[in-house]
Amino acid sequence: MAASGTIDQRRADGTLRHLITLEGLGADEIEALLARAQHYARGLDQSAARSEPLRGVTIANLFTEPSTRTRVSFELAGRRLGADVVNIELQLSSRAKGESMLDTIYTLEALHFVVFVIREAEPGVLAQVAAHVGPKVSVLSAGEAHLSHPTQGLLDALTVRQHKGSIAAQTIAIVGDIRHSRVARSAYQAFHALGARALRLVGPAALLPAPHEFAGCERFETLEEGLEGADVVMILRIQKERFAANEIPDAQQYFARYGLTAARLSRAHPDAIVMHPQPMNRGIEIASDVADGPQSVIRQQVSNGVAVRMAVLEAVAGAAAA
Ligand code: NCD
């Protein structure tokens, strides 16, 4: 599968300018972002805890694929930091008249936008945009094709950290359509950098990634085996939009072999947490009672999305605002 394109995400002084992938970020850099996100997570329900380090910064959200949580939480994160945030409705913009992503970006740069948050179905577009914007502009991925979703990887790591302490002690099972999942790739990069004890990929052979990807992970085609003793169970949706219509797995058959039910979850560690990036397809990859059950941290993942995106926006744009 195509690479996301290479781009140096850092400024000359080593600080983070873009965040298109977690690949290449060191454990220290990830830890620093998680520590800052945890700071924001603590203050999230206290409205008085607003700080405004991004006052005067203008952020554009540009999404070419559907999104609920990522778009809303990037918007809230920007606003809580004092930035002006504009959601560009691409289907209503001149993109619909054939304008290229780059021409749209140049127009927005002329309007003094300095952060572009982009969700894009086509691999490589984010790196291309990052290579063409002015030196003060940052590009953040809100999900790129099947390749990368770095803020999701960070919020997943933060959620594990909050429940389990050190990532290094954990056995983490990622279950489902890993082959087409940007969430799995970014979560793997975060967990791997933070030294997770064991990383397992669980799913039917057709949905497991190519052998050269996900170095160091164990692979399981039987859910029960993959769950045995796991501390963290991350369930993924079948990415129907990335399949040919006649190749989409049958939902009932999938649930019968790979759906996370309470009985199957009992194979994991009794304190295991259940994660899902959402959108969820109840009754396909996860049973409803598990999704809403005591081991589920799925809603906490959503809340952590705001805190993580605040930390990332502050890291890339804080200096520009100062
Ligand atoms: C995911 C995505 O878009 O990659 N959603 C999200 O951002 N939380 C997962 C998915 O669509 O399955």
pLDDT digits (tens, 9 = 90+) for 44-75: 665 545 668 999 999 999 998 889 999 999 99
Distance from the first to the final alpha carbon of the chain: 40
131-162 burial, b at 16+ Cβ within 10 Å, e below that, comes to eebeeebbbbbbbbbbbbbbbbbbbbbbbbbe
* 152-297 CATH, one of 3.90.1150.10, 2.40.50.140, 1.20.120.1690, 3.40.50.1370: 3.40.50.1370
- Measure the CA–CA gap between 149 and 65, rounded to whole angstroms: 13
Q: What is the DSSP string of 63-112?
A: ESS--SHHHHHHHHHHHHTT-EEEEE-TTTSGGGGT--HHHHHHHHHHTT
Phi, psi dihedral angles at 281 (to 5 degrees): -110, 95
Ligand 1 pocket test target in 65, 68, 151, 152 with most atoms within 8 Å of CB: 152
- Measure the CA–CA gap between 40 and 54, rounded to whole angstroms: 14
Ligand 1 pocket test target in 22, 61, 68, 70 with most atoms within 8 Å of CB: 70
Give me the CATH code for the 4-149+302-321 domain, please: 3.40.50.1370
What pLDDT sits at residue 131? 95
What residue owns the CA closest to ligand 1's atom 12?
A: 237
What pLDDT sits at residue 187? 98
- Measure the CA–CA gap between 129 and 100, rounded to whole angstroms: 11
Which residue ranges of the chain lie beneath pLDDT 70?
1-6, 44-51, 92, 320-322
Q: Which residues line ligand 1 (CB under 6 A)?
A: 69-70, 143, 149, 152, 182-183, 237, 277-279
Give the ligand 1 atom nearest the CA of 119. Answer: 3
Residue 321 CA to ligand 1 centre (angstroms): 30
CA atoms within 13 A on the CB side of 215: 4
What pLDDT sits at residue 1? 37
What pLDDT sits at residue 305? 98
Residue 237 CA to ligand 1 centre (angstroms): 8
**Span(s) in the chain for CATH 3.40.50.1370:** 4-149+302-321, 152-297
Residue 205 CA to ligand 1 centre (angstroms): 21
Residue 114 CA to ligand 1 centre (angstroms): 25
Give the ligand 1 atom nearest the CA of 70. Answer: 7
- CA neighbor of 124 nearest in space, from 101, 104, 93, 106: 101
